[in-house]
Structure 1
Amino acid sequence: MLLRMGLRANLATDAKREFNFSTFLTIRVVSAIVLFVAPLLVIALVRPEYLVLAVPIALMNATESLSDLCYGGLQRAGLVQLVARSMLLRGPAALLLFGITLYVTRDAQIAFWAQTAVWVSIQLLHDFPGVRRSGETIALDRDWGRIVALLRNTAFLGLGQFFAALQTSLPRFFVEAMLGTTAMAFFTAVSVLQRATISLFNTLEQAIGWRLSQIWASGNRDRFFSMLRKMLAVAVGLGILGMGLAWAIGEPFLALFFGPEYAAAYGLLMWIAAAISMRLISSVVQTALTAQRRFGSFGTVQTIALIVTVPFTYLGIQLYGLEGAGMAILATVTLRTAVFTYFLLRD
């Protein structure tokens, strides 16, 4: 997450084309090389017997980071249908090939190489040509001035996204340390729903972020905030629906999918459901802020939210046990949403 430096969101919202695709690509290529080499070096030192299996996986991760950047370029050009097609090919199609290859050969290494070959082929035959179709040039930028300028521009966005990921991870460490392994099992089971919705948040941001940035760059404030209000209404509606489902079927859902003893985590589930509902609203607001390219404000809010996550989680668990962890998550997301809204409306 940190190595990605928010480049996709930066590129997708760069409606005024302050930076060339080649400048983004140069930075991403360097990070992709690090993403490929670093884990292999660690594995070579610690468990060299796994190195052969790790190579295709590391190559897939590096290729995925390049595709991610291409998606940002395609979004900036409004070619979101190419993004959807690429994701469909790289997801279900590649997974199906992996499964077939593994079944036929009974060799995980060959299966991983088959999936890697698909991802690399999609990158070379679909994603890069799609970016060229949008009018961009696939080349590296040798102008250090532009590279440094982009790094400065995207630093707060990248750190903010990294801090947002940490906010999701920190509570489980407090739960295990303060309440033990049983509570941790309950928390992990319920958190599956929270992690599953992250893809929903990402899809929401990717679907509306580039469009909002185009509207904002055109100077049409009224249309920008009109679209924002509509998206907020959808987010609120989805949140209410999710809360209703959690209230109605949450307890039997936990018992059915995780075991009868997990029904005891129903209270935690309701707090997490409330946090997810609030996070939907937060995603819309923070996407609007990113569309305005106010990356400094984005990074500031995520830093504040990360800082308060620690005392909120500690006090919540100390006072209310496992449900207190859910309360803390809701409190953090609510504060983050409020501060995002303040920054968005301040100007």
Structure 2
Amino acid sequence: MGKKISLKRNFKWMFAANLLYAFLQWLMLIIMAKLGNEELVGYYTLALAATTPIMLFFSFQLRGIQATDARDDYQFRDYFSLRVIGVFLALLVCIAVSFLSDYSFEAKIIIFLIAISKMIEGISDVIYGLLQRHEVMNKVAVSMISRGAISLLLFVLFYWVTRNFYLAILGFVLGWLLVMLFYDFPNAMKYIDKPYLTFNYNKLWRLFLLALPLGAIMMMGALSTNIPRYFIENYLSIEQLGIFGAISYILVGAARFTTAISQTVSPRLAKYYASGNKGAFVKLLALVLLVNGALGMVGLAAAVLFGEPILTLVYTESYAVYSDLFVWVMLISLFSFLGSALGVGATSMRIFTSQVPIHITKLVVTIICSVWLIEDYGLNGAAWTLAVAAFVSMVFYTTLIHKGLKNIRQVEVGI
């Protein structure tokens, strides 16, 4: 069994891994924008928007539950079995939604390929939860860096050989599969005994009922992010969706930093809360909020001061005219980073069901603002929609954390 490493070292590993992984994924999008066109980026953005909510629902946030399972209520094979069932169901739903829709054939092909990649990612993710639980984030970091580098390499290689972006995306999917089979699975075997799968249906059902609210929360969170994209594709055009997707991916990449912090500290937060150590819990959560807030402010300042040259350098001059959209996207990032830290705090408290009303409210706000703003104000209206929704979520999570801290000595699973 691997040796547990320090919280500081875990953070360094995950910070570096998320930085490199986000850059490599962003580089693939940049290649699409520079060698392809806004339409291709639009199809790719649409595929992510179509598959992500479905995959996140059927993932049931098992990684977070597993990493914060301080009382060992379930074993890895329980989490792994439910995840395998979930991702295969999600793949079937993605295929059905794609081929029953009126999307173009090109869009359907990309949706199918992205759904396969998300299925692979989901299986690797539950292994990451096992490694996170044992606080050996260096192994997660190496997997992420390898996945990003190999998938980008195969993406470029397949495109260079075929000059076909659809086959290039297939190469990208193959890269994820290779890392899962030849790195993630061998790592998991160091911390568990065979078998991976369990047929204890009663236990799986209990875990499913525990995790279902978080699955719904993850789906609603993804819908809140992606609903404006659906409206852009419907009200505006696939090319406009490509522009919005490329610029807003900067937010996705930046969120990798805060994800690194959250994933590193969540097991420690869960232990502090489970043991009733309120002071240590508050101190660590406050530190995460401070770092996330600082990152958000730096991004916002960069967009205000250097938005136009950044967009020209990264993409093309046609993107630079949307520098005001870039500023709004970075404001969204500030609210999202803070809300993400608060969400990890709530999950570490094992507060699951009470998060559902927050995300329902956020989803309703997103739909109303999308209808009201996007058709009249275009891409800026989409950004305003996401900013309002992120701010509402942040405020409600603050209230939920405050309530959880009052009950810290009365901890119950699924409060």
TM over 0.5: yes
TM-score, scaled relative to structure 1? 0.82
Q: Which runs of 5+ in 2 are unaligned?
A: 1-55, 405-415
3-state SS in 1 of match to 2:189: helix
Letter in 2 for 1:16: R
- Asked if structure 2 preserves the Cα contact closer than 8 Å seen for 1:35 and 1:61, the reply is no
Give the Cα–Cα distance (whole angstroms) in 2 for the partners of residues 334 and 110 of structure 1: 40
Distance 1:183 1:16, change over 3 A: same
Q: How does 1:222-233 map to 2 (within 5 A)?
A: 222-233=279-290
Distance 1:115 1:285, change over 3 A: closer
Aligned residues: 345
- Asked if structure 1 preserves the Cα contact closer than 8 Å seen for 2:258 and 2:292, the reply is no
Letter in 2 for 1:77: H
Letter in 2 for 1:12: A
RMSD: 3.9
Provide the residue aligned with 2:388 in structure 1: 331
Q: How does 1:163-242 map to 2 (within 5 A)?
A: 163-175=220-232, 177-178=234-235, 187-242=244-299
Of residues 67, 77, 85, the one that matches 1:22 is: 77
Amino-acid identity (%): 27
TM-score, scaled relative to structure 2? 0.70
Distance 1:45 1:338, change over 3 A: closer
Give the Cα–Cα distance (whole angstroms) in 2 for the partners of residues 23 and 126 of structure 1: 21
The superposition leaves residues 177-214 of structure 1 with CA deviations (integer Å, 9 ceiling, x where unpaired) of 55667865654453232333343343333222233223
Give the Cα–Cα distance (whole angstroms) in 2 for the partners of residues 88 and 324 of structure 1: 35
Distance 1:144 1:111, change over 3 A: same
- Asked if structure 2 preserves the Cα contact closer than 8 Å seen for 1:21 and 1:136, the reply is no
Q: How does 1:1-347 map to 2 (within 5 A)?
A: 1-34=56-89, 61-96=118-153, 99=156, 122-135=179-192, 137-175=194-232, 177-178=234-235, 187-260=244-317, 262-317=319-374, 322-347=379-404
Distance 1:60 1:235, change over 3 A: closer
CA-CA distance at 1:339 after TM superposition: 0.2
- Asked if structure 2 preserves the Cα contact closer than 8 Å seen for 1:7 and 1:69, the reply is yes
Distance 1:335 1:119, change over 3 A: closer
Give the Cα–Cα distance (whole angstroms) in 1 for the partners of residues 320 and 172 of structure 2: 39
Letter in 2 for 1:331: V
The superposition leaves residues 66-100 of structure 1 with CA deviations (integer Å, 9 ceiling, x where unpaired) of 21111111111112111112222333135435655
- Asked if structure 1 preserves the Cα contact closer than 8 Å seen for 2:255 and 2:337, the reply is no
- Asked if structure 2 preserves the Cα contact closer than 8 Å seen for 1:212 and 1:224, the reply is yes
- Asked if structure 1 preserves the Cα contact closer than 8 Å seen for 2:233 and 2:241, the reply is yes
3-state SS in 1 of match to 2:147: helix
CA-CA distance at 1:331 after TM superposition: 1.3
Give the Cα–Cα distance (whole angstroms) in 2 for the partners of residues 187 and 91 of structure 1: 23
Give the Cα–Cα distance (whole angstroms) in 1 for the partners of residues 191 and 147 of structure 2: 21
CA-CA distance at 1:155 after TM superposition: 0.5
CA-CA distance at 1:299 after TM superposition: 2.5
CA-CA distance at 1:127 after TM superposition: 2.5
Distance 1:143 1:183, change over 3 A: closer
Q: Which has the larger radius of gyration?
A: 1
Q: Which runs of 5+ in 1 are unaligned?
A: none
Give the Cα–Cα distance (whole angstroms) in 2 for the partners of residues 183 and 102 of structure 1: 24
- Asked if structure 1 preserves the Cα contact closer than 8 Å seen for 2:76 and 2:192, the reply is no
Distance 1:172 1:227, change over 3 A: same
CA-CA distance at 1:343 after TM superposition: 0.6
Give the Cα–Cα distance (whole angstroms) in 2 for the partners of residues 16 and 206 of structure 1: 18
Give the Cα–Cα distance (whole angstroms) in 1 for the partners of residues 121 and 292 of structure 2: 29
- Asked if structure 1 preserves the Cα contact closer than 8 Å seen for 2:236 and 2:375, the reply is no
| Structure with more helix by fraction | 1
Distance 1:190 1:114, change over 3 A: closer
3-state SS in 1 of match to 2:322: helix
CA-CA distance at 1:269 after TM superposition: 2.4
- Which shows bigger deviation, 233-242 or 206-215? 206-215
CA-CA distance at 1:130 after TM superposition: 2.6
Give the Cα–Cα distance (whole angstroms) in 1 for the partners of residues 390 and 115 of structure 2: 33
Give the Cα–Cα distance (whole angstroms) in 2 for the partners of residues 116 and 340 of structure 1: 35
Give the Cα–Cα distance (whole angstroms) in 2 for the partners of residues 336 and 55 of structure 1: 31
CA-CA distance at 1:279 after TM superposition: 0.8
Distance 1:169 1:123, change over 3 A: closer
- Asked if structure 1 preserves the Cα contact closer than 8 Å seen for 2:332 and 2:386, the reply is yes
Give the Cα–Cα distance (whole angstroms) in 2 for the partners of residues 242 and 107 of structure 1: 34
Give the Cα–Cα distance (whole angstroms) in 2 for the partners of residues 182 and 120 of structure 1: 30
